[in-house]
Amino acid sequence: MELEATNKATLTDRMEVLKHLQSIDTRLIEFTKKRETLLAALEKRRAQVQQGRGLLTQKQKESKDFQKDTDGKELEYKCLEEEIKKSRGKLFQIKNNKEYTALLSEVGSKEADKSVLEDEILSMMSKLEGLRAGERELEKKIQGEEKELSAYAGSVEAELEVLEKETQGYQKQWKETADLLDKEALTQYQRLIEKDGLAVVEVHGEDCGGCNMRLTPQTVNLLLRHQELTLCKNCGKILYLPEQ
């Protein structure tokens, strides 16, 4: 397959223009990939920090809920203390020995319950302090990560600004270079570039540098004639012979 020559440029000139256009597009593709890589890395770090914040919120809720449970136990303890106090006061008012013994037994039972509650409260307070310590440690860690993220985001933004300037420069070169081509050659080139980022390939021996398929004798002859732009019949890439 061949593209009809025009007067806009000789075949050699057009081939050099196409090769130069390919080198520009290669750089532009690299810029796009680098931009995507930078943004993906930044988004990943943001997600990690956000995940940490979510975990902290969860731990804060656990601490708050456990504090309520502890407060409930302490209230239960105070109520029991008040009951014991009232019962002890009644002991001095009872004249009947049987009633006295029964009330004394009740006070003893409540004292035992109070002792169990006290141990539970001490255990809960110890656990609560552990929860809060873990919470403080995690918050400190997240604050450090957020500080690092802020610095990283700044460096990414700076890199993206440089990439944008370089991209604009290469886009300008691309337009200036593309203007040197005839419409047919440029259309074919753009179709190939949009497909997989590669339009112009060197011939290796008798094989296409794009698909590595053996070129037909007719295609090889067209290349050797140096009269028209020649395309690979298999992948459609624009072919050129290596410099002698």
> Does 43 map to a domain?
yes
Which residues, in sequence order, are CB contacts of 226 under 8 Å at separation 6+?
Answer: 11, 12
Query: Would you say residue 56 lies in a domain?
Result: yes
Within a domain: 127 = yes
Domain hosting residue 140, numbered range: 32-180
The per-residue pLDDT for 226 is 81
Q: Which sign does the torsion angle of CA 121, 126, 130, 133 carry?
A: positive
Q: What is the pLDDT of residues 46-72, one digit of tens each?
A: 999 999 999 999 999 999 999 999 999
Residue 115 placed within a domain: yes
Percent of the chain with pLDDT over 90: 82
Residue 9: what pLDDT? 53
Task: Evaluate whether residue 243 is within a structural domain.
Answer: no
Write down the pLDDT at residue 228: 84
Q: Is residue 217 part of a domain?
A: no
Q: Reduced to 3 states, what is the DSSP secondary structure of residue 214?
A: strand
Domain total for the chain? 1
Does 244 have pLDDT greater than 70? no
**Helix intervals (H) in the chain:** 11-91, 97-178, 183-196, 217-225
Is the pTM higher than 0.85?
no
Residue 11 lies in a domain: no
Mean residue pLDDT across the chain:
92
In a domain, 67, yes or no: yes
- CATH no. for residue 100? 1.10.287.1490
pLDDT digits (tens, 9 = 90+) for 1-48: 444 444 445 777 889 999 999 999 999 999 999 999 999 999 999 999
